[in-house]
Amino acid sequence: MSSRMRQLRQKQTEATRSTMAHSHGITPEQLKQDNPYLGDLARIGPLAMAAGVVLFVIGFAMTGADQHQRFYFSYIHNYVFFMSISIGALLFTLVNHVARASWSVVIRRIPEFFAGSLWMMGIAGLPILYVVLTGSVEVYQWVDVAKWIDAPEQSLIYNKAAYLNANFFVIRYFVYFAFFWLVGRGLLLNSSLKIDKLESIEDKDKALLKVWQLSAPGLVFSFLLMTVFAIDMIMSLDPVWFSTMFGIYYFAGAVIGFFSMMILIFKWLQSTGRLKEAVTVEHYHDFGKFLFAFVFFWGYIAFSQYMLIWYASIPEETRWFHIRQNADWTPLSWLMLIGHFALPFAFLISRYIKRHNILLACGAVWMLVLHWLDHFYQVIPEYQRVTGTPVGGGLPFAITDIICLLAIGAFWFGAFLVTAGKNPIAPIGDPQIAKSLKFDNVKV
Amino acid sequence: MSQTDAKTMTIEQPTEGRTFMGYLLEFDNVDDLTAAAQNVRDAGYTNWDCHTPFPVHGLDHAMGAKPSHVQWIVLGIGILGLCTGLFIQWWMNAVVHQGNVVTGYQYFVAGKPFWSVPANIPVMFEMTILFSAFASFFGMLGVNRLPQYNHFTMYSERFGKATDDRFFISISKDDPKFDMNRTRDLLAGQNGTYLEVLED
């Protein structure tokens, strides 16, 4: 390096340092005084998990035997909904490590908790394994291949049977939860907590570099397993139908759910006096930008999936949309187009709204509700198809939707709180934390 | 804000018989530049600028820069692109022959209707992107009044360092608040290293 280069580098370092002096934000030392712990809130964790299990047991027992089938569809609907948020957290943390991002460090611990608690959702999914293994009620129609023997779709089902069978489903289930445990808990959360405790900056840098390097293959395999998860849980509800875009469709929704949840969780944490100074409007602005970008990405993917199937017009592909854009389901299809894409796109395009305290939270609540309805739109029409329920009764909401929402939601949030425990809710010892606290969006 | 040591500033004097164009104040660090930018902003100048070899965070705030209008240009032209995409497809595929006037081609593809919005969306999307990209590029040039054949900082010998390791504030003589002596005193009061008089 020539001496001129060194001088210039010196100038740039000074420039960065002086910028920090100008803009708002706090120092890492002040962060430690900014209440970065859950404290008593973490004690709710085990209670919430237990409440989720109890609610599930009581809810299932109270539901009449004729409604058990509907219960399972509600269960799958809410299960993939909460899983999507945690998977979004896993992918977000990984992609930030791959990009070596510094802006996100202060908000990274919350997604790390979600990624670290992802393996516990493997317990919440056991009822789905039960129904697949026992076939107690008809949910996944590929479980019993024999009944398709005279159906016109027979060859489609039989050709998929090597993949879509109960034993391989269970194996895959354990593979992706083992992987989520390895990456979410081991690679992301545990290394981040370890870096907090390391003393010397050299050790911290070395440990962080290792996380960065392992995150790249971790990201690739997480994407693959997320695709498999979406295909197994949602797409195979109709064993005839297939869409090569389904994995990315699930991903787009997952990221929307994740960022909406992040906005609301940080608003909630700050309202309870935690991280009040550390997380600034600049971080919310970036959540808003991500949310806006992925609202459009979702629209792009959802439309691409629709248009390719619409254009090709092949019966085994169009059947999925045929149910969803006719009769009772027409309003929900329009709601997806307008409420999940067009309105939030127009709403979140503005910089003013993304930086507004309440308006951004309103957008996040709206997107979370629409994301839940998106999974309703994906899962519940299959219940009508499987059972041959006559159409004409409006959107078939059921009380089991609410029971499963509360049961799995309580379990999921409890798992998050249990994982957080006594740990700091911001990476207070990360080498890049100072940069993240001073993060500032350039005005354009 | 960290304070740097006071500098000795060399101050040029105007030359007799040459056309005065403006002042150019040189700094050797970002802190002094940002502090001076705030003072120039607070003094109410409008026709002035900062020149740095790399983006300086917080400088636009120190200069009192207002949000750009380019975004509105892009939004408007982008919507125009969307409508154009829709219109050309309607005109070419969905409009029938009217009397002797041939107005369009009705391609019959795979049994699809001549007029169907799902099929038109990819073109609408691409046209929106294309128009928006042009609008942001040319809108940026327009808002910055580029290209310019000349600028008064080009009269400076030292200004080349703005691409290397020096930071500059230039104030044009066309600024409504400009006054030969008062502006010079304002700049001389900053912690710069060289106050240059720009002359034709």
Distances (CA, A) of A341 to A214, A323, A362, B65, B121: 35, 21, 15, 33, 14
Q: Check pLDDT > 90 for residue B105.
A: no
Query: In sequence order, what are the beta bridge partners of B101?
Result: B98
Nearest to B30 among A8, A18, A300 (CB): A18
Question: Which of A148-152, A198-202, B94-98 has the weakest average pLDDT?
Answer: B94-98
Of B29, B56, B68, which is closest to A444 when you measure between CB atoms? B68
Q: What is the mean pLDDT of residues A7-30?
A: 58
Region A73-83: mean pLDDT is 96
User: What pLDDT score was predicted for residue B65?
Assistant: 86
Task: Tell me how far apart the alpha carbons of residues A107 and A215 are, in angstroms, rounded to a whole number.
Answer: 18
**Would the CB atoms of B53 and A440 count as touching at under 8 Å?**
no
The mean pLDDT value for A397-417 works out to 95
Query: Taking 90 as the threshold, does the pLDDT of residue A410 lie above it?
Result: yes
Q: Per-residue pLDDT averaged across A146-150, rounded?
A: 86
Q: How near does any CA of chain B get to the CA of A94, in Å?
A: 27
The predicted structure's pLDDT at residue B2: 52
Mean pLDDT over B168-194 rounds to 92
Is the per-residue pLDDT at A309 higher than 90? yes
Distance from CA of A203 to the nearest CA of B (A): 30
> What number is the average pLDDT over the span B149-155?
89
> What is the average pLDDT value for chain A, to the nearest integer?
90
pLDDT in tens, A151-196: 888 888 899 999 999 999 999 999 999 999 999 999 999 999 999 9
Tokens of B190: 């900053």
Query: How far B39 CA sits from the closest chain A CA (Å)?
Result: 15
Residue A43 has pLDDT above 80, yes or no: yes
Query: Quick check: A442 and B112 CB within 8 A?
Result: no
What is the predicted pLDDT for the residue at A10? 54
Q: What is the pLDDT of residue A435?
A: 83
Nearest Cα of chain B lies from the Cα of A19 at a distance, in angstroms, of 6
Residue A24 has pLDDT above 90, yes or no: no
Do the Cβ atoms of A11 and B121 come within 8 Å? no
Half-sphere exposure (Cβ direction) of A37: Cα atoms closer than 13 Å: 8
- DSSP secondary structure of chain B: -PPPPP-PPEE--PPTTS-EEEEEEEESSHHHHHHHHHHHHHTT--SEEEE-SS--TTHHHHHTPPPPSHHHHHHHHHHHHHHHHHHHHIIIIIPPPBTTB--------TT--SS-HHHHHHHHHHHHHHHHHHHHHHHHHHHTT-S-S--GGGG-SGGGGGGTT-EEEEEETTSTT--HHHHHHHHHTSS-SEEEEEE-
pLDDT for the residue numbered A393: 74
A169 or B7, which is more confident: A169
Residue B168 has phi, psi (to 5 degrees) of: -130, 150
| pLDDT, averaged across chain B | 89
A8 to B53: CB separation less than 8 angstroms, yes or no: yes
CA of A21 to nearest chain B CA: how many angstroms apart?
5
Which pLDDT score is estimated for A3?
Answer: 57
Q: Are the C-beta atoms of residues B158 and B26 closer than 8 Å to each other? A: yes
Cβ of A22 within 8 Å of Cβ of B119? The answer is no
Chain B contacts of A349, Cβ < 8 Å?
75
The pLDDT-based confidence of A20 (bands split at 50, 70, 90) is very low
Mean pLDDT (whole number) for A23-45: 84
| Domain spans in chain B, listed from the N-terminal domain onward | 70-143
Per cent of chain B over pLDDT 90 is 56
CB contact under 8 A, B34 and A18: yes
Arithmetic mean of pLDDT, B87-93: 86
Predicted pLDDT at B106? 75
Residue in A14, A19, A351 nearest the CB of B57:
A19
Least confidently predicted of A105-119, A288-302, A345-359, B95-109: B95-109
CA-closest candidate to residue A272, choices A44, A96, A440 = A44
In a mutational test of the B interface, the residue from A3, A4, A10, A18 whose CB has the highest number of chain B CBs within 10 Å is A18
Closest residue to B57, CB basis, from A14, A23, A306: A23
Range with lowest mean pLDDT among A15-24, A214-223, A378-387, B155-164:
A15-24
**Which candidate from B31, B54, B71 shows the least CB-CB separation from A12?**
B54
Q: How confident is the model at residue A107 (pLDDT cuts 50, 70, 90)?
A: very high
Least confident of A20-29, B70-79, B126-135: A20-29
Min Cα distance A296 → chain B (Å) is 12
pLDDT classification of A17: cutoffs 50, 70, 90: very low
As a whole-number percent, the residues of chain A with pLDDT over 90 amount to: 69
Q: How many CB atoms lie within 10 A of CB A269?
A: 20
* Nearest-Cα residue of chain B relative to residue A313: B110
pLDDT per position as a tens digit, A227-266:
999 999 999 999 999 999 999 999 999 999 999 999 999 9
In chain A, residues with a C-beta closer than 8 Å to the C-beta of B165 are 4, 7-8, 11
